[in-house]
Structure 1
Amino acid sequence: MKKVFHFLLIISLATGVISCKKSDPPAPDNTVNFESAKQGLEATATETVVKINLAMASSVAVPLTVNLTNSGLSYGLEYTTEPAAANNILSLTIPAGGTSVSFKVKKVANAVINGTETIDFTISSAGNPIVLGTTAKTQLSFSSITSEGARLTLKGIVGAEIGSAALNSVFVDLSSNSMVNVKRDSWVLGFSSGTDFRVRLNNTNGTSAIKLNGKADLNTVSETDVILDDLSITTGVSGAKSFANIDNVKGDVTKDVISNVSATDAENMVYVVNPAGGVRGVVVSVDNLLKIRILRKGSGYALQYAKLKDKTFKTLDITKDPANNFTFVTFSADAQVVNVEPTKAKWDFVWTWSIYYGKDSANPEDDKLIYPYGYSDVVFMNNLGGAQAAEVLTSKIAFANFKESDIAGTSLKAERNVIGSEWRSTMPATGARADRFYVIKDASGNVYKLRFISMGSNDGGKRGEPVLEYVLVKKG
């Protein structure tokens, strides 16, 4: 009898386990989508990038087939793709562990294009177990577009990378439904293209610098002129008021470390720069330090530079480009100009990790107690390029109800940190705040309303890949 009872008990337990497993929610589909449903290629551009994303990284390579449908133009005559298409079909592969693949569309030199042409790209198949998503089709117009709105996932991470301190800065242009991902550590100095002669440090990599007063010759500067701790960045409450060796976190260029470059050479002193990031416990190494001196050269700059221990220096001439806010420079064996930001008319805000500021929780209103802090998921406006923004609380008006007639009563600000870190909460919970949204006016006068949907564990999102949606309220 006991044997029968034990046998029935085992069957019952097994059935219960099976039943529980059956009741577990199924794993979500791993979908594949184009980054946006519409994209433009304006008359002055010669090429553009079209991107396809997976919802999650795949453990195996994912082959994709994309069909091309042309309207008003022909493959090979007016445009080509990279990689090349065969019979209007593109074969692409998302590598194992990856989350995206992209291809280029290039205009053929001297092709006659009047701006009414379009190409529809459709993902016709994807390797198992990938499922086609809701944006399996995108249209490329051979003219600029003004987006009526979209839902975007900002790709701040790379492949299988995890963690909140994502490697990418993501520049977003709402009117064209486009994003540009740039490695945060891809630059050290940014040279203003404006009428001023300002040079910025890379706060998104924790770059620090100190000025050597009385030193105007790089060849006379050595490691004996520097206290390494002066190049460290003290974050947290213990670092209150210690912003002296980093650029102004709110974007006030008059408070940056490097002074406005003088037209009088003798007034331009030597600076020592720590490009590797003097934050998060990173030890400052004298071998990584640079010494620089910046002069005016015509309407541009002359950058003198060397390793701190070097006895001689080199010079890089930098020309201002009025299409950009800054010209960016990085250092490897030599200093070189690199592409970072899109042209100033082609982005509205950037999501990134950056040195920003924190407040004393016991005295949050006391600005004298703010301190440097490394923030993930901070958003900065392209205020230098003409973008403006305002925060709107849903207690005053719901996102869905905000319309063109409400714009006049909205106080748009031309400040860099209108959004900042206020759009999300990480303590006690990680998630996008549902009690607010943002009104953004771009340099062309288009006005959008935008809200963040998810960004972490508390809202079903993924850290490093925030999701947002926006709607056109008024066309410029």
Structure 2
Amino acid sequence: MNKLIKPLLVFAFLGIFSACSDDEPPLPDNLAAFESTAQGFDGEQAEVKITLSRAAETSIPITVSLTPTLLTYDTQFTTEPAATNNSIALIVPAGATGVSFKINKKTGVLLNGDESIQFKIASVTAPVLIGTNTELKLSFKAIISDGTSIQLNGIAGSEAGSSAANSVFLDLSANTQTPVLRDSWDLGFNSGTDFRVIINTTNGASAIEINKSDLNAVSATDIDLTKLALGQGQGTLALSDGITGNLSETLIKEISATDTDNKVYIVNRKGGSATVLPVEQIYKIRIVRKGTGYTLQYALLNDTTFKSIDITKDPAYNFQFVSLVTGAAVNVQPAQARWDIVWGYSMYFTSTGTENIPYGFSDLVFINHLAGVTAAEILTTTATYDAFAESNIAAVTFTADRDLIGSKWRVTSGGTVGVKTDRFYVIKDSAGNVYKLRFLSFHASDGGERGKPKLEYKLVKKGV
């Protein structure tokens, strides 16, 4: 009898397991769409992105058709990958959440700004389906967007969740987002008149000045590495750049015209959770002026020789960025007139009631205050998002505070996680265009996805 009961129990268990599996709700359709329906082209190259609702389980072919107006392929422009019979073949790799292609203006071509290309998602291979935003118009001039809804892509590789791997820069008027790996850079060199250098707060970096001006004379004997720990109750705000983003508050002192005044700094390039990298990954740096630019001297902490790299200021950008790991310049922020807000993870602060202590925050939103972007928070008790119009602008007090939005747009405590629906934001870009913006989702609790917040914005008033 026992011999019969055991197999029956096994089959019963398998039946129950199978029934539970059958009861699981199916995943929603995976949809492919352009990030927006309109995009400007103000330069020599533009990138157009197609996103999926979620990562592809297998490689997904996508075909995009193109219809030029006042343009001829291979005469005024080309694409990467190349188009055949006005059609571009793309592949979304397995595990990826989208794909992009580039449009290049031919060298020496002069255009009057009336030219455009209409792109259309012509086909997508199952199981992915074609979603909204099936067409996109690329205008060969800078556009002023009327607004759109967009999902920011903070996810890169397997690093999803609250500390998403990307910082995402958003240009409201051009409907473009630029995701950049937080771990891709270490130092930012100010392109303005001041000789200031920032460390990578989005990577939880920390640094300590050593009272020596000879890089080769500094080693691990000069520091207790545990003092570089930052976050989770460890360290102080003095280990990082000022939270306001003002250049007068950089941890690294202004680079002096007198070389001997420029001291060595020891840098923990990646932290934020009270962690310090092993000594063999700790860097020492020293920065001096070179004409109107900089020279960076750098080495691993216990090295007895160092390398150098020269950095030239470019006034079109807030900063020029360098990676200590590669010893090379890297692209991080778009040109200062090409982004308005940035979303991502960063060292910030929290209050104990008696003092402010360093704390690594997810979902922080900063405005491009160095380029003249200003913003205001509007509570819906004052005006609703839908009703807010140009006539309301006069009553708005705009501020250049970098953290005006910060983390105030969402809640993650008190048993509630989600977007705050009692507020929205008004942003004035560097060209004077005024947009209203609200967040729609960022977490499973509000129908979103951590690391990929959704928001919408609408033009309220064009700049002069």
How high is the TM-score relative to the length of structure 2?
0.92
Name the residue aligned to 2:385. Answer: 399
Name the residue aligned to 2:417. Answer: 430
Residues 186 and 83 (structure 1), Cα distance of their counterparts in 2 relative to 1, 3 Å cut: same
Q: CA deviation at 1:110?
A: 2.1
2:401 to 410, 415, 431: 415
Name the residue aligned to 1:53. Answer: 51
Counterparts of 1:289 and 1:86, CA distance in 2: 50
Name the residue aligned to 1:156. Answer: 154
Name the residue aligned to 2:241. Answer: 247
Name the residue aligned to 1:264. Answer: 258
Counterparts of 1:168 and 1:50, CA distance in 2: 18
Counterparts of 1:432 and 1:278, CA distance in 2: 28
Equivalent residues in 2 for 1:12-31, closer than 5 Å: 27-31=27-31
Counterparts of 2:157 and 2:387, CA distance in 1: 38
Cα-to-partner distance string for 1:149-195 (whole Å, 9 max, x where unaligned): 00010000025543211000000000000011100011101010111
Worse-superposed segment, 160-169 or 408-417:
160-169
Residues 283, 299 of structure 2: 8 Å contact kept = yes
Name the residue aligned to 1:390. Answer: 376
Name the residue aligned to 1:168. Answer: 166
Name the residue aligned to 1:440. Answer: 427
Counterparts of 2:97 and 2:294, CA distance in 1: 40
Q: CA deviation at 1:117?
A: 0.8
Q: Which amino acid aligns with 1:98?
A: A
- Asked if 1:323 is matched to 2:316, the reply is yes
Q: CA deviation at 1:76?
A: 1.1
Q: CA deviation at 1:134?
A: 1.5
Name the residue aligned to 2:458. Answer: 471
Q: CA deviation at 1:245?
A: 1.0
Q: Which amino acid aligns with 1:247?
A: D
Name the residue aligned to 2:226. Answer: 229
Cα-to-partner distance string for 1:109-161 (whole Å, 9 max, x where unaligned): 22342210111110111111222112011010011100000001000002554
Q: CA deviation at 1:21?
A: 7.2
Q: CA deviation at 1:394?
A: 0.7
Q: CA deviation at 1:230?
A: 1.6
Residues 229, 284 of structure 1: 8 Å contact kept = no
Residues 207 and 26 (structure 1), Cα distance of their counterparts in 2 relative to 1, 3 Å cut: closer
Q: CA deviation at 1:252?
A: 2.9
Name the residue aligned to 1:338. Answer: 330
Counterparts of 1:429 and 1:329, CA distance in 2: 40
Counterparts of 1:248 and 1:354, CA distance in 2: 12
Counterparts of 1:234 and 1:465, CA distance in 2: 24
SS at 1:204's partner residue?
A: helix
Counterparts of 2:290 and 2:165, CA distance in 1: 34
1:63 to 49, 61, 64: 61
SS at 2:435's partner residue?
A: strand
Task: Report the RMSD for the aligned CA atoms in angstroms.
Answer: 1.8
2:101 to 100, 103, 118: 103
Cα-to-partner distance string for 1:309-357 (whole Å, 9 max, x where unaligned): 1112222211111000001011125x21111100000000100111111
Worse-superposed segment, 346-355 or 152-161:
152-161
Name the residue aligned to 1:178. Answer: 176
Q: Which amino acid aligns with 1:338?
A: V
Cα-to-partner distance string for 1:193-251 (whole Å, 9 max, x where unaligned): 111111000000011110112x1111221211111112111424x65xx1121111221
Q: CA deviation at 1:390?
A: 0.7
Aligned residues: 445
Residues 26 and 185 (structure 1), Cα distance of their counterparts in 2 relative to 1, 3 Å cut: closer
Cα-to-partner distance string for 1:412-454 (whole Å, 9 max, x where unaligned): 1011111111111111222111111000000000000000000
Counterparts of 2:154 and 2:49, CA distance in 1: 14
Q: CA deviation at 1:376?
A: 0.9
Name the residue aligned to 2:305. Answer: 312
Counterparts of 1:112 and 1:269, CA distance in 2: 49
SS at 1:279's partner residue?
A: coil
Residues 68, 121 of structure 1: 8 Å contact kept = yes
Counterparts of 2:28 and 2:325, CA distance in 1: 44
Name the residue aligned to 2:273. Answer: 280
Q: Could you list the structure 1 runs, at least 4 aligned residues long, displaced by more than 6 angstroms after superposition.
A: none
Counterparts of 1:175 and 1:74, CA distance in 2: 27
Counterparts of 1:168 and 1:202, CA distance in 2: 13
- Asked if 1:380 is matched to 2:363, the reply is no
SS at 1:407's partner residue?
A: helix
Counterparts of 1:159 and 1:309, CA distance in 2: 32
Residues 346, 361 of structure 2: 8 Å contact kept = yes
Residues 216, 293 of structure 1: 8 Å contact kept = yes
Equivalent residues in 2 for 1:355-366, closer than 5 Å: 355-360=347-352, 363=353
SS at 2:394's partner residue?
A: coil
Q: Which amino acid aligns with 1:60?
A: T
Residues 156, 181 of structure 2: 8 Å contact kept = no
Q: CA deviation at 1:254?
A: 2.0
Name the residue aligned to 2:123. Answer: 125
Q: CA deviation at 1:28?
A: 2.1
Q: Which amino acid aligns with 2:432?
A: G
Q: Which amino acid aligns with 2:360?
A: G
Q: CA deviation at 1:25?
A: 6.4
Which structure 2 segments of 5+ residues have no match?
1-14
SS at 1:93's partner residue?
A: strand
1:450 to 421, 437, 449: 437
Cα-to-partner distance string for 1:251-273 (whole Å, 9 max, x where unaligned): 13322210111111221111111
Q: CA deviation at 1:280?
A: 1.9
Q: Which amino acid aligns with 1:373?
A: Y
Q: CA deviation at 1:306?
A: 1.6
Residues 97, 160 of structure 1: 8 Å contact kept = no
Counterparts of 2:284 and 2:27, CA distance in 1: 54
Name the residue aligned to 1:6. Answer: none
Name the residue aligned to 1:39. Answer: 39
Identity fraction in percent:
50
Counterparts of 1:32 and 1:312, CA distance in 2: 51
Counterparts of 1:159 and 1:138, CA distance in 2: 27
Counterparts of 2:304 and 2:158, CA distance in 1: 43
